[in-house]
Amino acid sequence: MSEPLLVIENLHVAVEGKEILKGVSLLLNAGEVHAIMGPNGSGKSTLSFCLMGHPRYAITQGRLLYQGRDVASLPPDERAKAGIFLAFQYPTAIPGVTITNFLRSSLKAVRSSEVSIKDFRQLVKTQMKTLGIQDGFMNRYVNDGFSGGEKKRLEILQLAVLQPKLAVLDETDSGLDIDALKTVASGINAMRTPERGMLLITHYQRLLNYIKPDHVHVMVDGAIAKSGGAELALQLEREGYKSFQAPATTAGVH
């Protein structure tokens, strides 16, 4: 049996001395899509930032293993080079930097080598077609004056260009109308491969109408209260989060 892509063991995380994650455990294999659902303040985004190595989020207990390697001490750029990607809930605008230059620089940094203009253009053109993005998009400044849908579409374009092994998508459905949601979900589904694992973080079941997860985890008060299949998201839709209580630290392992 192959080694899990991601193993989170009894993870405790604090921000400025305040404990946010209180014993999260989760195992994600290559080829799987896991959804983490929970109310505001439950720790979902904290988990995503911790996985990417944000310096404000301090691991106080537990382990974070990626491809069998403890990555807790690695800075964000080293995690990116290892194949970890984070799509932000609120992408930042970078006026003056075109999407073309941004993507090419990002690809060069992740690969640690130069990318020819010909290869880069072909790669981007292919992925833009999949996402229904027009050519003029590449000459715009990163997220500058973008709608919510355009910002999220750019996040998925980054995912498609960088081709990470582990994609963490933090509330990618936030602020999207139904058409933009369908387009973004289609792009995410196109990125599902047997080699790639995905962690979808969301408030609502609606994203999962278009992306069927292999596992769903409900996060409450900094820990995983319950884990199950795609049907768990439908239970949440019916009952809400109030029916789930904060768990013992072993919840979430399967």
Q: What is the model's pLDDT at position 247?
A: 53
Q: What is the model's pLDDT at position 99?
A: 96
Cα atoms in the Cβ-side hemisphere of radius 13 Å centred on 93 = 11
DSSP state of 43: S
Q: What is the model's pLDDT at position 252?
A: 46
Q: What is the model's pLDDT at position 245?
A: 67
Query: What pTM was computed for the model?
Result: 0.90
Q: Which fold has domain 6-243?
A: Rossmann fold (3.40.50)
Average pLDDT over residues 138-150: 93
Q: What is the mean pLDDT of the chain?
A: 91
Domain extent listing, the chain = 6-243
- The band of 246, judged by pLDDT with boundaries at 50, 70 and 90, is low
C-beta separation of 59 from 141 below 8 A? no
**How big is the chain, counted in residues?**
254
Within 10 A of 81 (CB to CB), how many other CB atoms are there? 13
- Tell me which of 65-69, 102-106, 204-208 is least confident: 204-208
Q: What is the model's pLDDT at position 67?
A: 96
**Percent of the residues in the chain that have a pLDDT greater than 90, as a whole number:** 70
The b/e string for 12-34 (b: 16+ C-beta within 10 A; e otherwise) is: bbbeeeeebbbbbbbbbbbebbb
- The band of 129, judged by pLDDT with boundaries at 50, 70 and 90, is confident
Say if residue 1's pLDDT is above 80: no
C-beta separation of 34 from 214 below 8 A? yes
Average pLDDT over residues 3-24: 96
pLDDT tens digits, residue range 37-84?
A: 998 889 999 999 999 999 999 999 999 999 999 999 999 999 999 999
C-beta separation of 85 from 159 below 8 A? yes
Considering only residues 174 and 166, tell me which one the structure prediction assigns the higher pLDDT: 166
Say if residue 251's pLDDT is above 80: no
Say if residue 249's pLDDT is above 50: no
Average pLDDT over residues 204-227: 93
Name the 3-class secondary structure at 108: helix
Q: d(Cα 90, Cα 157) in Å, to the nearest integer?
A: 16
Q: d(Cα 206, Cα 84) in Å, to the nearest integer?
A: 25
Distance of alpha carbon 93 from the chain centroid: 19
Q: What is the model's pLDDT at position 170?
A: 93
- Tell me which of 176-185, 191-200, 244-253 is least confident: 244-253
Average pLDDT over residues 124-147: 90
Q: What is the model's pLDDT at position 197?
A: 98
The token pair at 191 is 């990125």
Say if residue 149's pLDDT is above 90: no
Q: d(Cα 79, Cα 85) in Å, to the nearest integer?
A: 8
C-beta separation of 8 from 25 below 8 A? yes
